[in-house]
Amino acid sequence: MTQKVDRRIQRTRQLLHKALIELIMEKPYDQITVQDILDRANIGRATFYAHFPDKDALLLGGMDEDHFDIRLYLDEAEIAVDEGKLLPCYSLFRHAQQFYPLYKAMLGGNGIEMVKKAFHKHLVHAIEQRIKRYAPTVSLPLPLVSHYLAGALMSLIIWWLDHEMPHSPEEMDTMVQQIVMLGLERLSHEQS
C-alpha cells in the first residue's frame, strides 16, 4: 500500500518537473509562473504546494530526477570514461550535447543563476574527490585548486553552449586536459 502511495508521489513530482523543464526551454525562467506549471502538468495548486514551496524548490529538487540530473554525470558509472582525470570533462560535455537545449537554457549566458551556483558547487566537490584520488601531490591548498578549476570548467561549458557547440566533446576534453592537467603537473615539478 505504502509503495503505491510512494509511486503516486513520485509520479506527481515527475509530472511537475517535466512541465517545468519544458517551460524552461520555451521561455525565460523568471517569466514562468506556478500557474504555467500547473496548466502544463495538469495538476492542482494544492497538490503542487503539498510537494514544493515554490518553483525554485521544484527546480532544485528536480535535479535529482532522471530527466535532467546534473549530478548524474558525476556518478561513478557515468564518468568511467573520465577515469584518472582531474576533471570529469568528456562526460560533462557529452551530457550537455545530449541535452543541449536544456543545458543552454539553464547554464548558458542567459541561464539561471541559481542553477549555475548549484552546478558550480557540485563541480567543486567532484574535483576535490578527484584531486585527492589522482593528484594527491598538488602542492596548493585543495579548496583553492578545486574552486579555480570548477570556475574554469563552468566558463568553458558556458562558452561552448553559447557558441552552439563549436567543438566536439572529445575536442573540448583534449583541450581542457592538456591545459589543466599538464599545467598542474608543471606546477608540481616547479615546486618540488
Partner 1 sequence: MSNLDRRVQRTRKLLQDAMMQLIREKGYDAITVQDILDRANIGRATFYAHYQSKEDLFLAHHDDLVLTVGLEPLTAEQLLSPDPPPSLVAFLELLGHNRSLYQVIIHSRDSDRIRQGLRAAVSVNLADCLQSGFEKAVSHMPLDALTEYLASAQLALIDWWLNQRTPYTAQQIATMLHQLRRAALQEAFALD
- Interface residues with partner 1 (CB under 8 A)? 113, 120, 140-141, 143-145, 147-152, 154-156, 158-160, 166, 175, 178-180, 182-184, 186-187, 190
Q: Return the C-alpha cell found at 3.
A: 509503495
Considering the complex, what minimum distance in angstroms separates the CB of residue 29 from partner 1? 13
Considering the complex, what minimum distance in angstroms separates the CB of residue 126 from partner 1? 14
Contact 74, 122 (CB under 8 A): yes
CA pair distance 107, 95, nearest whole angstrom = 13
CA pair distance 183, 152, nearest whole angstrom = 13
Strands (E), 9-131: none
**Core vs surface per residue 53-86: b (16+ CB within 10 A) or e:** eebeebbeebbebeebbbebbbeeebbeebeebb
Q: Return the C-alpha cell found at 52.
A: 514544493
Q: Which is nearer to partner 1, 16 or 157 (CB)?
A: 157
Q: Which is nearer to partner 1, 16 or 138 (CB)?
A: 138
Q: Which is nearer to partner 1, 47 or 177 (CB)?
A: 177
Considering the complex, what minimum distance in angstroms separates the CB of residue 140 from partner 1? 5
Q: Which is nearer to partner 1, 52 or 103 (CB)?
A: 103
Considering the complex, what minimum distance in angstroms separates the CB of residue 13 from partner 1? 28
Q: How far is CA 146 from CA 15, 55, 88, 187, in A?
A: 36, 30, 13, 15
Considering the complex, what minimum distance in angstroms separates the CB of residue 183 from partner 1? 4
Q: Which is nearer to partner 1, 38 or 187 (CB)?
A: 187
